[in-house]
Amino acid sequence: MIKSAECENQEQGDNGLGPCELASGKVALEEAVRRCRGGDRDALVTLRQAMQGNPDLFSRHGHVAAKVQTEWIRAVSGPDLFEREVMFKSARELRQGLIEEGTGSHLERLTVDHVVAANLEQGFHGLIEARCVGKGIELPKFQVEASQRAARRLEKALTALTTPRALAPRMESHTELVSEEPTEEKAHEPTASHPPAETNRLTAVFDRTRHPVPLN
């Protein structure tokens, strides 16, 4: 009763909902998420309504590339939570830096996520190789092949990211030359006369055909 009375007397926020209503909504949403994770299809209605009202609510949860990056970081760091947190911070900074260097388009963001994931994957295999070399252990063949595949994936991801950026200035320069509008001075400039076309034996014949021929 006391908590209920306190909630009713508290001022409402800018969104028109008081703290109690926000808390109850959060609890209901958490309950819907828990039920959805358990396979309860009836809870999907509540979850979909919440996502329609706030599209960015679970934006990172549905990010496949983020899940891949998370798993690679966990594979590299192991149970060391400090190292894991530092790697998460480093991956976020790398992703944000690569995005800020470009146009920020959805396609470029997708490519950046592939670069970050491929970099983590290649680092994982590189770490295994370094540990084997340090212990004098020969690297298994399947591990060598996996490391090579990871290196190729990283190379392809970097190429997909850097090639459009390298071509963009050239395309802009070419577009400016093509779309140059004539100025007022250029509009009054006399146009250069075209050189006379070369003539041959058939020129006179075609010239005569241009004039109308009477039917009678």
Domain-embedded: residue 208:
no
> How confident is the model over 69-83, as a mean pLDDT?
95
Cα 173 to chain centroid distance, Å, stands at 25
Q: How far apart are CA 61 and CA 127, in angstroms?
A: 28
Contacts of residue 160, Cβ cutoff 8 Å, sequence gap at least 6: 111, 114
Cα gap 204→211, rounded to integer Å: 12
Confidence of residue 157 (pLDDT cuts 50, 70, 90): very high
Residue 132: inside a domain: yes
Is the domain of 120 the same as that of 87? Answer: yes
Asked if 95 and 124 sit in the same domain, the reply is yes
The tokens describing 102, both together, are: 């470009």
Task: Assess whether 153 and 73 both reside in one domain.
Answer: yes
Say yes or no: 110 and 148 in one domain.
yes
- 31 falls within a domain: yes
Please tell me the distance from the alpha carbon of residue 4 to that of residue 20, in angstroms, as a whole number: 8
Residues 69 and 173 in one domain: yes
Please determine, for residue 196, whether its predicted confidence score (pLDDT) is greater than 60: no
Rounded to the nearest integer, the mean pLDDT of the chain is 77
Work out whether the CA dihedral 60, 61, 65, 68 comes out positive or negative: positive
| pLDDT tens-place string over residues 52-72 | 888 777 766 667 888 999 999
Which residues form the domain of 43? Answer: 2-8+16-53
> Is the residue at 198 inside a domain?
no
Contact 153, 121 (CB under 8 A): yes
Same domain, 49 and 141: no
Contact 143, 124 (CB under 8 A): no
Give pLDDT, residue 55: 75
Total count of residues recorded for the chain: 216
Give the pLDDT score at 195: 53
Q: Render pLDDT for 116-142 as a digit per residue (tens, 0 to 9).
A: 999 999 999 999 999 999 999 999 999
User: What's the number of domains the chain is made of?
Assistant: 2
pLDDT at 9: 45
Q: What is the pLDDT of residue 14?
A: 44
CB distance 84 to 74 below 8 Å:
yes
Instruction: Tell the residue number behind the tokens 């063949």, with chain if given.
Output: 141
For the whole model, what pTM was predicted? 0.60
Q: Is 41 inside any structural domain? A: yes
Any domain includes 199: no
User: Looking at the domain assignment, is residue 182 inside a domain?
Assistant: no
81 & 132 share domain: yes
Query: Which SS3 state, helix, strand or coil, does residue 87 take?
Result: helix
